[in-house]
Structure 1
Amino acid sequence: MPAVSLTETKTAVCNLCEAICGLRLTVEDGIVTSVRGNPDDPLSRGYICPKGVSLADVYTDPDRLRRPVRRVGSGAEATWEELEWDEALDLVAERLAATILEHGGDAVGAYLGNPNAHSLGFGTHGAGFVRSLRTHNRFSASTVDQVPHQLVAHLMYGHQLMIAVPDLDRTDFFLVVGANPMASNGSLMTVPDFPQRVRELHERGGRMVVLDPRRTETAKVADEHHFVRPGTDAAVLLAMLHVLVAEDLARPPSYVDGLDRLADLVADFTPELAEQASGVSAETVRSLARELAAAGSGVVYGRMGVSTQAFGTVCQWAIACLNLLSGHFDRPGGAMFPEPAVDTVGRRIVGPGRYDRWRSRVRDVPEFAGELPASVMAEEMRTPGEGRIRTVVTSAGNPVLSTPDGPGLSRALEDLDFMVSVDLYINETTRHADVILPPTSALERDQYDLVFHGFAVRNTARWTPAVFEAEQDQRHDWQIFGELTARINERLGTPLADDAAAAAATPPADLIAVLLESGGRTTMADLLEHPEGVDLGALRPTMPQRLQTPEQRIDLAPPLVTDDLPRLRDALAAVRPATDDGELLLIGRRHKQDCNSWLHNTARLTRGKPRHHLLMHPDDLSARGIADGQRVTVTSRVGTVEVEASGVDDMMPGVVSLPHGYGHQVPGTRLGHASTVAGVSINDLTDPELLDISGNAALSGVPVRVSAC
């Protein structure tokens, strides 16, 4: 009798980026044969990008680790051997505790990668593990892409995650500065199906304008695009504020303070100064400010391009002030605050963030929200003395590819006493680990987005049970963190109290059920009945009641930010155009088929024409005698790479671009599979000495020279 084939349709979620798209999977005999967007999902509405389809590839990837491994040997001769879970967890806990007991907690460094924010298990159990390390040397991907947002939110609204998002579904005027949501699907703005939402914006007569040094995928569907010199966006944004004030167009809400102070601060940031520094004409600056003020609804949104530069905090502050002064703050179609079913802000599930409670040992850089800048990691490992980092923990991160001067960090990791990584893969960073503890993949674990419902352009909630059961000898990340927390504390002589031990062993589903019930917006029972998600409605005004500041008021001129304006004035005065044989400014870029520094061993995402080339304006190629497609040398203060160059009119003259996160060329795993993708890492060139006042890495606008090989 022939075997009966079992075919099922499963509801799933893509947690690879902030769009958190709902999925429908066809599973035949335990194998995913189809991945589609879920049309019933109230947020993503059936949208899916190429990354979502790749979830099935990760699940079946032979390169993915499923059991703990220990490195034997070093360098190119290193091999990996599997361990039992208890042996691996005991080994890691013993080594971490030994470092803390002998050298103090600060001798341990912890780096948390971007995927932790996308994992429910880390959200419920990760913080306890990090606290168990007793270290001030905590780092994360936040300081390479988003801390200016968080610092401004903390200073102006009272909480680091109280970040206003565009009410995109109802706005009439959308000004995008240094962001590319057509490729990113939104960032600190959870907006799946951005292409359709832009079409809807145009159908209702709205306009989108983009300011960017590259004519990005978003710029190509905009009504206007204007080139802006990297690192000078602050001049444009402050000049727009200047116009609002000078032309009496400002309409701030009643609960703001410091308008007169702000007017004085922006008095000399004229549109003419902005034109001289940025290349955006004074006429355009005035026109954009007036259009924003006159729009029935409007909003300014800025992301990576303005956060990852030397004046990222000033840029994000200026954007917040533009939304406040233009009369579109906390109004439909403007800058609004989502109301997630689990309110991480109001319930203090995540702390509000504090600034400068301690500083880095070597460079004396202040912390924010309990973290030091990732750019100082390597020097904290290399520099002798008390408090030197001797042992490192990484979780779901690849900082050798994603933080400044990756080669320098790689060399520092080679000299550690011990390193452990919680990761699915052997990559450029985890290859230095002594032990790798692999968690389950996205399709094998439950998911509720604690973070990204709080940045969404519509209020929704969704619980997604695991598609596949984990194998008996696999562990979820929350189990790894909970076990390590208990074992480390035991070895430090401070065993967990009964309630803490119970919490460390409690599955995330139980914790989320309690939070949903007490939140009053929906329940776990509702979400189980509606796996596609529950629609909680459009964004609505919530101010000033939800402000977390004293007396629920907003300071328009926080001194920490405004004290940085003299440095900005000096930098703008020093701006000079690139000469034919002079420096160019390097910026990054992202593609919809990429997921930062991983998934480059997935054939589905790496096929097609090369995406790794250095993009240059044809005039810049010609001035250097370089042919289109020719291999070139790119040199910065910290490094040199070789890569093919492509001439494209999409680049602003004087600006060049490499994609973020490329260069994935680990020579194989214990299974012998080679994981490679063409290209080089932009972070072989970015400079760890270039920082914003928030501590964010200034990855955009790095001076480089380009020459033919």
Structure 2
Amino acid sequence: MTASAASRVHFRTCNLCEAMCGLRIELEGNRITSIRGDEEDPFSRGHICPKALALQDLHEDPDRLRHPMRRTASGWERVSWDDALDETARRIHAIQTEHGRDAVAAYLGNPNVHNLGSIMFGPQFLRALRTRNRYSATSVDQLPHQLVAYLMFGHQLLVPIPDIDRTRYMLVMGANPLASNGSLMTAPDVRTRLRAIQQRGGRVVVVDPRRTETARIADSHVFIRPGTDALLLLALLHVALVEGTPRPGHLAAHVDGLDTVRALARDFTPERVAPHTGVPADVVRGIARDFLAAEGAVCYGRMGLSTQPFGSLCQWLINVLNTVTGNLDHEGGAMFTQPAFDIVGGPKALGIGRGSIGRWKSRVRGLPEFGGELPSAVLAEEMLTPGDGRIRALITSAGNPVLSTPNGAQLDKALGGLDFMVSIDPYLNETTRHAHLILPPVSPLERSHYDIAFHALAVRNTAKYSPALFEPGPDGRHDWQIFLALQHRLETLRKGRPSVRSLLKYQAVSRLGPERVLDLGLRLGPHGARFHPLKQGLTLKKLREAPHGVDLGPLKPCLLQRLQTKDRRVNLAPEPLVADVKRLAEAFPAAGAHEVRDGELLLIGRRHLRDNNSWMHNVSGLVKGKPRCTLMMHPEDAARRGLADGAEVTITSRVGAVTVPVSVTNDVMPGVVSLPHGYGHGRQGTRLAVAGEHAGASINDLTDDKALDVLSGNAAFSGTPVQVRPAASASATPAA
């Protein structure tokens, strides 16, 4: 083979975060020699972040499992796929037969949303389980966004997206897009996009308890006490609606509830909320005036707002602010995508419904389901609490809830008592170490890719398909193949005998695969042949012929066409949200002021550009450098405790304690401390060599499973009350 024949170039989308950056991958034979940004990608235009290079490391990682494993008394042993799948289905069926359908639970982690096959075939498998005990990373992340979208617009995925490329005033609350690369705002090269706002005469304002990477490049940064953002938003609405005049623009004739929200905002003056938020009244009025005066303004809030006790109120009030100022469904404001594969109006076979709430409740605490899932914060108690309906078996897929859900130590204990556990996962990590069987899927580079979810959350309408770079080995299985094989076996066991019809169906769906479903969705989507006759519509074939992707244009006003409410109107004042304002007012009374219990600090999380939740710490190139798992603390708080920079401290909460070094910095406000998410790799029984050398401590050994956003059930990580002392004065809870 000649050198030229051995060399090739592959174009694909990076799937390691939400940004959808285009990659140019060069190979010699089957060896990757270079990964860099694809300058011809119309969306990312050559930009990548350090995580992109990790695709090669993940593919080649010696710790990545490449065949099924069974846990035995003497350790892990290799088993065949047929044996592993048969045993999994048999044990699930036996437990459900003896103890009921809900005795088996399922937990899906974030990477499933970045996986074409998983997002298409995972829901079918979950339906086949017939259990109400379904959980996912949704309820430790963005559930308030989905609940609010469902209540206001009629569909849980009809989420407004900041039109960052045309706005002239961007108010960022509890978000750090320079570290996240945008979250529920797919926007590669966020730094350049934010700089462009300033270059065209606009402003970027960040409100956050920490001076984040995004805050450092903003025009101004405002500290706010954790958990009080809903108060600030109501004060902004007071200025806009009570002291000013609402102007909902072209939506005016299609919005219900304006008078209701005006009445709610009346009592929340900037002066009334200032003692609680720590934001001076004149600063609030200044932000409101600038927001109202801008030709195109948008308020955007993410994790810091969603993961607090009033997360749903925050996301609702952001939508209200954008609406009453004329910035919803308006250029430069908060807009809606028209993705080529439309998960709002597209194929129902995906099982992504409009949403639901309260169709059933959790057994122990009585928390309502949303969209067919229960809050992940109740998963451990549903395993540990005796009685009918107790969870006895668990299926996890691409999730590490021991590190990513509140009170992880309690879940760690609960997993050890299960009758059966199986994990569809490529790693032996802090969660999967409890599994009886691990079914590892192929690497990201061994599967094709299309971002169904993140094209629907992007700041521009684009479409891009990436074929697999490498063919899986003979023992490789795709996630969707594992889901489908388990589903077929379960259905066969329930019928009591093999069925020719069932076998033919299984074989037909296996041949169909993700690509044919994707092609159908593209053809039926807003840019497909259904709406563009004469063969001008988008198809998978056309995407294959455009390896850099296809630009479908900027976001356009389209809400009135995409509304899913029964009356086709925007519900600005959904009753559950309106009623929850009373809980907010009682928590922060008008006559009250911010009170601090003796020595108490409020713990918030943080993210780093080189981190991605809990599963990127086994890549040496991403964890090198100064240790990142440190507790940020303001100098005043450190001085009161006699702490010097770098000292070991023990952090204690209601549920546990951890020990980490302290980093004394002015980047957090007094009374607030910050610990990163995703660490805690020191537990025994894992197989993560690099991560083990940078173990750190898990913030979720401190966060409280009893702290929730009442409306959605989303975990309230942000603002966990903690005590911090020199490590010598207390001992940390040992890892199991």
1:359-412 Cα offsets, whole Å, 9 max, x none, are: 000000001000000000000001111110000000000000000010100000
User: May I ask how many residue pairs the two structures share in their alignment?
Assistant: 704
What residue number does 2:102 align with?
A: 106
Once the two structures are overlaid, the 10-residue window that deviates more, 657-666 or 82-91, is: 657-666
Matches for 1:53-452 after TM superposition, within 5 Å: 53-73=53-73, 79-252=75-248, 253-254=251-252, 255-347=254-346, 348=348, 349=350, 350-452=352-454
SS of residue matched to 2:542: helix
**Within the alignment, does 1:662 sit opposite 2:679 as a pair?**
yes
1:207-226 CA-partner distances (Å, limit 9, x unpaired): 10000000000000000100
- Deviation of 1:661 (Å): 0.7
Contact 2:618–2:690 (CA under 8 A) maintained in structure 1:
no
Find out whether 1:614 has 2:610 as its counterpart. no
Which stretch shifts more, 448-457 or 494-503? 494-503
Question: Which of 564-573 and 488-497 deviates more?
Answer: 488-497
Asked if the contact 2:424/2:441 (under 8 Å) is kept, the reply is yes
| Corresponding position of 1:507 | 513
Matches within 5 A, 1:566-645: 566-573=582-589, 576-578=594-596, 581-645=598-662
Partner of 1:460: helix, strand, or coil? strand
**CA–CA distance in 2 between the matches of 1:592 and 1:670?**
24
Q: CA deviation at 1:652?
A: 0.7
Other structure's SS at 1:576 match: coil
Moved more, 666-675 or 608-617: 666-675
Letter aligned with residue 287 of structure 2: L
| Deviation (angstroms), 1:29 | 2.7
Q: Aligned pair 1:682/2:699, yes or no?
A: yes
CA drift at 1:676: 3.7
Shift of 1:202: 1.3
The answer (yes or no) to whether the contact 2:9–2:25 under 8 Å persists in 1 is yes
Is 1:706–2:724 an aligned residue pair?
A: yes
- Contact 2:600 2:721 survives alignment (8 Å): yes
Q: Compared with structure 1, are the counterparts of its residues 543 and 116 closer, same or farther at alpha carbon in structure 2 (3 Å cutoff)?
A: same
Mapped pair 1:45 → 2:61: no
How far apart, CA to CA, are the structure 2 residues paired with 1:571 and 1:673? 44
2:616–2:622 Cα contact (<8 Å) kept: yes
Greater Cα offset, 494-503 or 19-28: 494-503
Q: Secondary structure, in 3 states, of the residue corresponding to 1:550?
A: coil
Contact 1:107 1:389 in 2 (8 A): yes
Kept in 2, the 8 Å contact 1:668–1:675? The answer is no
Residue 491 of structure 1 is matched in structure 2 by 493
Alignment gaps of 5+ in structure 2:
529-536, 728-736
- CA drift at 1:525: 1.6
Q: Does 1:554 align with 2:570?
A: yes
Q: CA deviation at 1:506?
A: 2.2
Tell me the CA shift for residue 13 of structure 1.
1.8
Relative to 1, partners in 2 of residues 1:28 and 1:569: Cα closer, same or farther, differing over 3 Å? same
Structure 2 residue aligned with 1:650? 667
Aligned AA (1:695) = G
In the alignment, the residues of structure 2 paired with residue 86 and residue 672 of structure 1 have an alpha-carbon distance, to the nearest angstrom, of 29
Q: Deviations over 1:597-646 (max 9, x none)?
A: 11211110000111110000011000111111100010000000111001
Per mean C-alpha deviation after superposition, the further-off stretch among 447-456 and 676-685 is 676-685
1:90-117 per-position Cα deviation (integer Å, ceiling 9, x unaligned): 0101011111111111000100000001
CA contact (8 A) 1:227 1:652 kept: yes
Q: Which amino acid aligns with 1:533?
A: G
Deviations 1:284-337 (A, max 9, x none): 111111211111001000000000000000000000000000111111111000
* CA pair 505-372 structure 1, distance change in 2 beyond 3 A: farther
Deviation of 1:674 after TM superposition, in Å, equals 7.4
| Among candidates 537, 544, 548, match of residue 560 of structure 2 | 544
Tell me the alpha carbon deviations over residues 242-289 of structure 1, each in whole angstroms, 9 at most, x when there is no partner: 111112331122210111111111211111122111111111111111
Give, as a single letter, the amino acid of the residue that structure 2 aligns with 1:528: R
In the alignment, is the contact (CA less than 8 A) between 1:459 and 1:538 conserved in 2?
yes
Report what 1:532 is aligned to: 548
Cα 1:590–1:670 shift into 2, 3 Å: closer
Bigger CA drift: 570-579 or 441-450? 570-579
Cα distance in 1 for partners of 2:549, 2:226 equals: 40
**Which residue in the other structure is 1:522 paired with?**
538
Task: Measure, in 1, the Cα distance between the counterparts of 2:659 and 2:690.
Answer: 25
In the TM superposition, what is the alpha-carbon distance from 1:34 to its structure 2 partner? 1.2
Runs of 4+ in 1 over 4 A off after TM superposition: 1-5, 494-501, 666-674
1:33 corresponds to: 33
Report the AA paired with residue 228 of structure 1: I
AA at the equivalent of 1:620:
D
Aligned-pair CA distance for 1:84: 0.6
Tell me, in whole angstroms, the C-alpha distance in 1 between the residues paired with 2:433 and 2:553. 46
Contact 2:617 2:691 in 1 (8 A): no
Report if the CA contact (8 A) 1:79-1:670 is conserved.
no
The answer to which of 447-456 and 32-41 deviates more is 32-41
What is the alpha-carbon distance in structure 1 between the residues aligned to residue 556 and residue 674 of structure 2? Answer: 39
Using the TM superposition, give the Cα deviation of residue 668 of structure 1 relative to its aligned residue in structure 2, in angstroms. 6.2
Structure 1 gap segments, 5+ residues each: none
2 CA distance for matches of 1:390 and 1:645? Answer: 40
Aligned partner letter, 1:700: S
TM-score (normalizing by structure 1): 0.97
The CA distance in 2 between the partners of 1:499 and 1:102, in whole Å, is 28
Aligned partners of 2:12 and 2:465 also within 8 Å: no
Task: Tell me how large the CA RMSD over aligned residues is.
Answer: 1.7
Q: Secondary structure at the match of 1:80?
A: strand
Contact 2:122-2:483 at 8 Å conserved across structures: yes
Greater alpha carbon shift after TM alignment, 215-224 vs 675-684? 675-684
CA distance in 1, matches of 2:438, 2:489: 17
Match of 1:22 in 2: 22
CA shift, 1:563, in A, is 1.2
Judge conservation of contact 2:358–2:370 (CA < 8 Å) in 1. Answer: yes
8 A contact 2:242–2:265 mirrored in 1: no
SS of equivalent residue, structure 1 residue 124: helix
| Separation in 2, partners of 1:618, 1:459 | 45
Answer whether contact 1:166 1:335 (CA < 8 A) is retained. yes
Aligned to 1:695: 713
- 8 Å CA contact 1:24–1:36 kept in 2: the answer is yes
- Larger CA deviation: 662-671 vs 441-450: 662-671
C-alpha deviation, 1:518, in angstroms:
2.4
Distance 1:661 1:168 in 2: 29
Secondary structure in 1 aligned to 2:58?
helix
Cα distance change, pair 165–4 in 1 and its aligned pair in 2 (3 A): closer
